[in-house]
Structure 1
Amino acid sequence: MNLEQIKACLQAAGLEIIQESDLANGTGTQLRLQSGAIVNSYHTGKFNVQGKNQDPVKECLGVPAPQAVAVNGGAAVAKPVLSKVFVVYGHDNAARTELEAMLRRWKLEPLILDQLPSEGQTIIEKLETTIAGVNFAVVLATPDDEGHRAGHEDEKAYRARQNVVMELGMMLTLLGRKRVAILMKQQDNMERPSDIQGLIYIPYKDNLQKEAGLLLAKEMQAQGYPISLANV
């Protein structure tokens, strides 16, 4: 999570930054909040939270809480908690940032392909490796491209980017229809990226959280994600 994403998340949560300064040896940036909390953001993409009133900041940035344990025959067994969510998006960076901040406020960990290390893998290999530990994907279908049948310019309509359609297909194959939600921005002007029946389409116009957040949270709850609707 880079500095700009941290700042956007804090701003969306109403956490005011009162001071921004460089860390020692140029390793990153320190953000001081009005609440007394401190966020150290490093150029490596890592960050940590210090100071007072850390809980709201950690919740906003998606720092996972300690896992609960269940006792089984006297032995403590870690209880698995679903938290990772794969995010697919096109050219609408503002929508991606809004979605990422919302997921982090729900104490989830959004995984975005271009923010993950490639380690010499092809795009398809990277997708397959990343999705191995994920149980849900959210696809942002935004009106980034235009298209129509050859010779039928009157049918011109907005479309999602080709990479979005490709990654959507992979998510459906790897996770199944119930574990993939497609957020359709301005759907009245959009051509749906697939004519497959039974997909989860959630439309919204301008405010992603207000118009699509509750429906998305309910779909993810149904797949085992511990989202409190009181926080949506």
Structure 2
Amino acid sequence: MSTASPSDGSLTGLRALVTGGASGIGLATAQTLLAGGAQVACLDLDPAGVTEPLIGIRCDVADDDGVPAAVAEAAKRLGGLDILVNNAGIGAQGTIEDGELDQWRTVFDVNLLGIVRVTRAALPWLRRSTTAAIVNTCSIAATAGLPRRALYSASKGAVSSLTLAMAADHAAEGIRVNCVNPGTVDTPWVQRLLAAAAAPDVEREALRRRQPIGRLVSAQEVAAAIAYLASPAAGATTGTALAVDGGMQGLRLPPPPR
């Protein structure tokens, strides 16, 4: 049973499930929730990066049969669920002309239908909680036109719309649903993209300069935003997209002097 109090926003005693929780934003989120007093289970294709007291469970969010079993295992080991963080996702580069249609299906299967599968499986437990919250990891790509991100942007635009629809559907049940929109985050995935670039240093500088704060966002900064939205401190917040993007969404700064 959760011992969290809506009045103080505490995470103490809350039971949280984080998908894609073995690295990057997911692992940072799991560690932040744990530090705040929550019990945390992480679903991941490779949970080797999850160390105790975090609970690691292998799960492919694109597996119709595997997801309900993994969520049930997490809920059993935690004694219930109060928080679901739908963070698992994959990236893609290119214009609308690039990539086979099977790649488009795969990205949507993970980035969008992964949220559908996990949330469907988690709802029976979330409905028993008095502090239920769902946070979806979306992206600046849902709100800004970025070059060579057609497929990824389309999938995250769908996540943004789905978040609003979920918030409307479950408000009467006391289940809050929000999302975070990170900018370019310094994660293992971004590091792999940079390593594969023809000029990694040039590409990294371009990523840095497009964010008004002049640097990449850290996974811990995104995790802090997720933890807030998941906590009782955000008890009146639902259907919201919180940008953690270094100002990309709203700021238009003059170019630096040459």
Question: Is TM (by shorter chain) over 0.5?
Answer: no
Q: Which structure's relative contact order is higher, taking Cα pairs within 8 Å and 6+ residues apart?
A: 2
> Normalising TM by the smaller chain, what interval?
0.3 to 0.5
Please, what TM-score do these two structures have when normalized by structure 1? 0.35
Structure ID, larger Rg: 1
Higher helix share: 2
